[in-house]
Amino acid sequence: MDIPIERKRNILFTSHNGSGKTTLAESMLFNAGMTDRRGSVDGESSVLDSTPEEKRRKMTLSSSLHHYRWDNFHVNIMDTPGYSNFFHEAIGAMDVAEGAVVVVSSAGGIKVGTERAWEYTEKKGLKKIVFLNKMDHERADFSLRLKEAEEVFGKNLLPLSIPMGERDGFRGVVDLLTMKAFVYDDDGSGRFTKTECDDEIKEEASIRREALIEAVVEADDGLTERYLEGEELTIEEIRRALRMAVQKDMFVPVMCGSALKNVGINLLMDAINLCMPSPLDREVFGMDASGNEIRAEESEDDPPFVAFVFKTIIEPFAGRLSLLRVYSGTVSADTTVFNTTRGAKEKLSHLYVMEGGKTTEVEAASAGDIVATAKLKDTHTGDTLVTGEVKVVFVPPEHIPAVLSYAVTPKTKGDEEKLHAAMEKLMEEDPGVEFRRDDETKEFLISGYGQTHLEVIVERLKRKYGCEVELQRPKIPYKETIRSGAKAQGRYKKQSGGRGQYGDTWLEVSPLPRGEGFEFVDNIVGGVIPRQYIPAVEKGIKEAMLTGVVAGYPVVDVKVRLYDGSHHSVDSSDMAFKIAASMGFKKAMEAADPVLLEPVMKMEIVVPEENMGDIMGDINARRGRIQGVESKRAGYTTVKALVPMAEVIDYASDLKGMTSDKGTFTMAFSHYQDVPPHIAEKVKAAAVKER
């Protein structure tokens, strides 16, 4: 691409769902001449929300890429999901961007998704512009939202533009750098008339401009001195200082407008060029072969090609498309590269730039570019591609564990045959999807970040791979054990003509500490049971342990001692002793105070402070035990608890309702514990009914 690296920008749009990110991006593409008409989310004509699932739901479900040229700058834009079930897509995009436009609805205010987005952009070190959208909405309030944003984000926010009127009276914006008013046509074309500020808004604009200049000059000691001496600064000097101030994180610029009416969007595009970092401005580190941190940068006369695969798209007919962020060097089509993550060579046969759901082929890519290549054999999301001798490896982003699981049942035999291959491809496209077989319940489980996420997975299975499945609440992997010891005889005798069957065992069962599993002790002396039949006895006990006597669940943590028995010289066999041992184990277990065990989950729940009391009360109601409470960040509290799995199968949906989608949690298996008698009776009744 023929644009120097310092004039490249990689920007993502992030915020709560419904703030207008996609509409904003569509207006920018239209203004830059990348589309003939503005795509509409509601009209299902968006070039960014291009999948059937996105069009039907009218919201972004995965990060979408496009690009445009504006005033001789090349800008890659990434439209990311704001809905919590798909926010992991936004986090992945943040790893390959330098800047972010945080979109705030002037009508609805700052919601939890926007707070979370801001938190992650801070964590990733992205520079930001806040765009106050929907200034034409009936509840729009510029001053209120600006104050709210400063309080929530904890940053100094300074407007670069202010609205001319609000709600029905919104007609344009004032550019505070030039003190010019931009009045827009009301047809969404983005056409405007540039005039002087009228008296109605001139005073406010002057006050806000003065505050902006005072903040900007602090980035340059020379400008500060001249400003304090009353010297007039040129617009270009102010622009240079503004860029410096943003890069030093002295404040965050604020723009305003209406994405739907294409008002103020051109000034936002100017601000992205001016304020946002180039790829040279952000330090990006990988690891060398010894595990030492090294920087991937454009630092040599002929630097090696270094790129990171941050996303994979798989289509049934087009195959795998790997999206690359180039950090160093230049690469052209038909180049052989080395995958340092997997130690494999790959050939980049073609290079493309993404344009929403479509691609356009390009001949080459250089540092700062985001491109795609097709049909790499051994390369996956999170891998590093290089040329030359460099052996840098980028560390893949931290995986966020799934929080909701459902059992999946194929509708037909054909669907069952397609399921595993289809799920492997979906998991590569969406790292938030998990698919596994539960060894305890024998069910196949699909896991994700919420109900909507799982529903979208099912829809994609059907649309892309012709695989139809049904989701069901997963079974709880209960187990059974004993509280005391007992002895019992297991005797099997069968005589019905010809050779008979005879096996006789005396068993003693006793409990083992939790987690010890199974122990078999052979105490036979004097040959009352011949040595060749002892393995059959142990096998019969193990088979009997697969279905306990309480509710038919597997038995654990039991010691079994074989201490006596008898045999028949003709009729005894492995089968007879296996059956006898199984019968004896069942009898002994029934007499040893059997009990049902349930899995307990270790949970960390992060919620707003005002919800802490409700959350703790809810955990207690779920038979949970609070282990501790601590504050990790302002306004939020972390509650640590141990809760039975049966009580938190649907916790993702429940927590969303209790905290207005502001709460998050992680969950992992901790241990097994006794099920209370009244709960055990219900579990037993359900097991009997199922059988």
pLDDT digits (tens, 9 = 90+) for 540-570: 999 999 999 999 999 999 999 999 999 998 8
Stretch 150-158: mean pLDDT: 90
Strand pairing of 319-328 and 370-374? Answer: antiparallel
Calculate the alpha carbon distances from 390 to 57, 340, 393 in Å.
45, 9, 9
pLDDT band, residue 129 (cuts 50/70/90): very high
Which residues does residue 674 pair with via DSSP β-bridges, in sequence order? 597
The 8-class DSSP code of residue 3 comes to: S
Residue in the block written with tokens 């979370």: 116
CATH number of 479-592: 3.30.230.10
* Distance (Å, whole) CA 492 – CA 611: 62
Would you say residue 571 has pLDDT above 70?
yes
Helices (H), 138-182: 142-153
Share of the chain above pLDDT 90, in %: 72
pLDDT tens track for 646-687? 999 889 889 988 988 788 888 888 999 999 999 999 999 988
Confidence (pLDDT) at 298 = 45
pLDDT band, residue 301 (cuts 50/70/90): low
Confidence (pLDDT) at 634 = 67
* Distance (Å, whole) CA 13 – CA 541: 61
Helices (H), 394-468: 413-429, 451-465
**Domain parsing of the chain, residue ranges:** 5-281, 285-386, 404-472, 479-592, 599-690
Topology alike, domains 404-472 and 599-690: yes
Stretch 464-492: mean pLDDT: 94
Confidence (pLDDT) at 270 = 97
Indicate the class that CATH gives domain 5-281.
Answer: alpha beta
CATH number of 404-472: 3.30.70.870
> What is the chain's mean pLDDT, rounded?
91
- Which residues 6+ apart lie within 8 Å of 386 measured at CB? 304, 305, 306, 307, 337, 338, 340, 392
* Distance (Å, whole) CA 146 – CA 157: 8
Strand pairing of 99-105 and 127-133? Answer: parallel
Strand pairing of 306-315 and 384-386? Answer: antiparallel
pLDDT tens track for 21-58? 999 999 999 999 999 998 888 888 899 999 999 999 99
Is the distance from CB of 59 to CB of 49 less than 8 angstroms?
yes
* Distance (Å, whole) CA 94 – CA 116: 13
- Which residues 6+ apart lie within 8 Å of 549 measured at CB? 480, 586, 589, 590, 594
Alpha-carbon dihedral sign for residues 528, 534, 536, 538? positive
Burial class (CB in 10 A: 0-12, 13-18, 19+), 532: exposed
pTM to 2 decimal places: 0.83
Rounded to the nearest 10 degrees, how much is the dihedral formed by the CA atoms of 563, 568, 571, 575?
10
CATH number of 285-386: 2.40.30.10
User: Considering only 98-112, 332-346, 601-615, 649-663, which range has the smallest mean pLDDT?
Assistant: 649-663
* Distance (Å, whole) CA 84 – CA 87: 5
SS3 183: strand
Fold of 599-690: Alpha-Beta Plaits (3.30.70)
